[in-house]
Amino acid sequence: MFKKIWSLSAILSLRFLGLFLVLPVLSLYAMEMENSTALLVGIIVGGYALTQAILQVPFGTMSDKIGRKPTLVFGLLIFLVGSVVAAMSTDIYMLMLGRFLQGAGAIGAVIPAMIADLVPEESRGKAMAMMGGSIAISFALAMGLGPVLGSAYGVASLFWLTAAFALLAIILVFIKVPTPPRIHHVYHNKIKTADILKDSNLIGMFIINAMQKGLMTIAFVLIPIILTASLDEGGFAWEKSELWMAYLPAMIAGLIAMGPAAVFGEKHNKAKQIFLVSIVLFIAAFALMGLATSSGMFIAGIISFFIGFNMMEPLVQSLISKYAKVHQKGAALGISNTAAYFMTFLGGTFAGLMLDISDRGTLGLILAGVGVLWLVWTAVKLSNPIKNSFLYLDKAHIDMEKLEALEHDAIAEWYVNETENLVVVKYKKDEIEEEEIKAKIVS
């Protein structure tokens, strides 16, 4: 499995590393440009997510029609152009255009779709967890490197580095990414978006993914601005070159927490518990950052935020792929990603607006209150996924009429892979034996 997906995870990591590198310092950089306001800065921090959200479905449709790899290359090229525009920007509006273009390369759903094409159903959760882990590692590395490189070489250099990452990712597509098979599935029932929106577990995951990404953008509008603001403005009067001292311990703590959380969530099937702990850490983070009377207390909030984010990230995509039925996975991931990107944009815009009209204490308490509501929803509505087994049978040996009539409480779903002539049955191993299933459908 690792051989099939490492290159895709690397491409995703390079893309997110570039996007994350600027986050620790972007709000300060944008604030110094002519005509800037806190609201415009918030839009710039989250701007890439707006075009990403709008173009998620078109890019997914394009990948179905012309193939995953050409779509991937096209999206990375747009991302490269956007990075160059941002690097060369001389005013706030050119920087905004660059950020919108970065998001217009909306390949966020294409890579999970490629992984789904390449990896068997029962291994897909682990593959998605690896993908999420690679994003979390990129996030942690960027938090350490971004402030240091930005201070030493200027924020524009981070955008040039992002363009180089995009070029490297395109090269990887051509030389390392396998061409996924075109597999057509026939399912025992039709896909209905309404069914996805009725599933409380999937709705819970959409909320988790959206809230996590929205709060991330809010944090990265607030953190550098507050740390560097004067004491009279409610800040802590840090120099830009000192920001790494806040991000580095948070990065290390997040990396340390990520591994055990992923193992506990995946191997021991305790993802709900990990999410609840992460949400508590988010609540604590924004309460601390909002009410901090010292930079040490504020940094404690940043560390709490990073730990919560990195504990959650490796599990999000994996859980969505487990809760959704096989014929709903693409639609479920698409809905989730679209919601997450819209919240990323709204989070940045909201943070910028609040900085214009309110104070950080009020904002911190509002966000902590929202976090409490999120915690209650997750505790009540979300369940840990049921572990299922998979039975693969040669279609030639199956009585299709019996298969069409197959119903059992222990059988979650079945589908036919017509390209490989396989019938796949997903079932609860402790409630029904493999031989019993075979007896029901083998001719």
pLDDT given at position 122: 64
Beta bridge partners of 279: none
From the list 267, 273, 249, the residue with the least C-alpha distance to 147 is 249
Q: How confident is the model at residue 89 (pLDDT cuts 50, 70, 90)?
A: very high
Query: By percentage, how much of the chain surpasses pLDDT 70?
Result: 95
Q: What is the DSSP string of 120-178?
A: -GGGHHHHHHHHHHHHHHHHHHHHHHHHHHHHHH-HHHHHHHHHHHHHHHHHHHHHTPP
Look up the CATH number of domain 2-381.
Answer: 1.20.1250.20
The residues of the chain that CATH labels 3.30.70 are: 389-441
Count of CA atoms in the C-beta half-sphere (13 A) of 359:
9
Alpha helices in 229-294 (DSSP H): 244-266, 271-291
Is the model's pLDDT at 124 over the cut of 70? no
pLDDT given at position 200: 86
Q: Quote the CA–CA distance of 296 and 302 in Å, as a whole number.
A: 10
* Winning range, highest mean pLDDT, from 79-93, 180-194, 404-418: 79-93
pLDDT given at position 61: 76
Query: At residue 248, what are phi and psi to the nearest 5 degrees?
Result: -60, -50
Which residues contact residue 384 at a Cβ distance below 8 angstroms, ignoring those fewer than 6 apart?
A: 269, 270, 271, 272, 273
Strand order in the sheet with 185-187: 185-187, 411-417, 422-427, 389-394
Higher pLDDT, 118 or 245: 245
Q: CA 310, 164, 97 angle in degrees (round to 5)?
A: 80
Question: How big is the chain, counted in residues?
Answer: 443
* pLDDT (tens digit per residue) in 342-374: 999 999 999 999 988 888 999 999 999 999 999
pLDDT given at position 135: 82
* pLDDT (tens digit per residue) in 282-309: 999 999 999 999 999 999 999 999 999 9
The stretch 230-239 carries a mean pLDDT of 91
pLDDT given at position 421: 84
Tokens for 170? Answer: 């395109």
Q: CA 376, 352, 90 angle in degrees (round to 5)?
A: 140
The stretch 328-335 carries a mean pLDDT of 75
From the list 84, 79, 78, the residue with the least C-alpha distance to 159 is 84
Q: Quote the CA–CA distance of 413 and 290 in Å, as a whole number.
A: 48
Q: What is the DSSP string of 179-196?
A: PPP---EEESS---HHHH
With tokens 């990375």, the residue in question is 76
pLDDT given at position 306: 93
Which residues contact residue 145 at a Cβ distance below 8 angstroms, ignoring those fewer than 6 apart?
A: 21
pLDDT given at position 189: 59
Is the model's pLDDT at 68 over the cut of 90? no
pLDDT given at position 99: 95
Question: What is the DSSP-derived secondary structure letter of residue 33?
Answer: S
pLDDT given at position 351: 92
* pLDDT (tens digit per residue) in 25-67: 999 999 989 888 989 999 999 988 999 888 887 887 788 778 8
Is the model's pLDDT at 187 over the cut of 60? no
Q: What is the DSSP string of 74-126?
A: HHHHHHHHHHHHHHH--SHHHHHHHHHHHHHS--TTHHHHHHHHHS-GGGHHH
If 0-12 CB within 10 Å is exposed, 13-18 middle and 19+ buried, where does residue 69 land? Answer: middle
Alpha helices in 389-433 (DSSP H): 400-404
The residues of the chain that CATH labels 1.20.1250.20 are: 2-381
**Which H/E stretch holds residue 342?**
helix 329-357
pLDDT given at position 3: 73
Higher pLDDT, 163 or 57: 163
Q: How confident is the model at residue 97 (pLDDT cuts 50, 70, 90)?
A: very high
pLDDT, mean over the chain: 87
pLDDT given at position 75: 94
From the list 338, 312, 313, 348, the residue with the least C-alpha distance to 108 is 338
From the list 275, 352, 271, 267, the residue with the least C-alpha distance to 309 is 275
pLDDT given at position 183: 54
Domain range 389-441, its CATH number among 1.10.287, 3.10.290, 3.30.70, 1.20.58 = 3.30.70
Q: How confident is the model at residue 412 (pLDDT cuts 50, 70, 90)?
A: confident
If 0-12 CB within 10 Å is exposed, 13-18 middle and 19+ buried, where does residue 408 land? Answer: middle
Q: What is the CA radius of gyration of the chain?
A: 23
pLDDT given at position 180: 67
Tokens for 349? Answer: 């815009």
Count of CA atoms in the C-beta half-sphere (13 A) of 216:
29
* Winning range, highest mean pLDDT, from 60-69, 161-170, 201-210, 380-389: 161-170
Query: At residue 91, what are phi and psi to the nearest 5 degrees?
Result: -145, 170
Is the model's pLDDT at 276 over the cut of 90? yes
